[in-house]
Amino acid sequence: MTQSEMHGKICLVTGASSGIGKATATALAKQGATVVMICRDQRKGEAARSEIQESSGNASIALLLADLSSQASIHQLAQQCQAIYPQIHVLINNAGVALTRRSVTVDGIETTFAVNVLAPFLLSHLLLASLKAGASSRIINVASSIQRSLDFADLQQEKRYSGWQMYGQTKSALILLTYEFAKRLQGTGVTVNCLHPGFIATDLGRSASPVTRLLQRLFASSPEKGAATSIHLASSPEVEGITGKFFVKSQEARSSQETYDEAASLRLWDICVQLTGASAFLPADENIQNQ
């Protein structure tokens, strides 16, 4: 998609009120896309929307509210999106959290796993009909180079919690799911890719250790630089038809060896289905099959 081709394209961005999400929404708005900002806080979302409209000169910026730690809220969001946008061309699963202390969501699921893994898994499933209607369309998952092997015996770290380890596991999980989605969506016109945005100064680290926050202030890049690869995957004709890949600095790269474990991806897929009930929302056709 060239810049002119983004006019009329419906692009959803989660976590769009600040950081990489806001920078991504702004860049897509400047390219002429209709941008749907998915935010949790209405006040912050409205402020960001006004700012993006003013800086881009694009009035086609919408705001939808959702708490991505709640599966009920994700269902409500998907229903709203499909009612307003029967065709979706780009879904950027950007929202994420990094916590230092273990907490659980209203659904009883560890919060980092719920937001970083289950939310993009469920939202992508629920919006598949609109994404297929908008094909060729693109799902983009914001992952990380911080990748850790999944401990399936304690996936939600109930026994011993490490925020850093949990974050790395959830990003590995998101990459595994990206590759699995790509396989299952072959032939539908929907591509699925993921990326590492870089070491970026965002609100994600607000609960991080003082040392991490200091390093972020000293060495982190801007959210605009962090958004560059998301924007490339959302709009560039160079990636048309490319699916199931990991990108760094807008170039294909290798993710960790563990993320290519097909047995692990299938096991994780089944766990996510069990935790979300998403299998009921898989299109009943030959393109997406439970393996």
Given the residues 85, 161, 167, 260, select the one marked as catalytic.
Answer: 167
User: CA-to-CA distance for 250 and 279, rounded, in angstroms?
Assistant: 32
Active site residue 85: no
Contact 51, 45 (CB under 8 A): no
User: CA-to-CA distance for 111 and 117, rounded, in angstroms?
Assistant: 10
User: CA-to-CA distance for 168 and 237, rounded, in angstroms?
Assistant: 31
User: CA-to-CA distance for 189 and 239, rounded, in angstroms?
Assistant: 13
- Using CB atoms within 10 Å of the CB of residue 218, give its burial: 0 to 12 exposed, 13 to 18 middle, 19+ buried: exposed
Q: Given the DSSP bridges, would you call strands 137-142 and 190-196 parallel, antiparallel or unpaired?
A: parallel
User: CA-to-CA distance for 105 and 155, rounded, in angstroms?
Assistant: 15
Q: Which amino acids are annotated catalytic?
A: 167
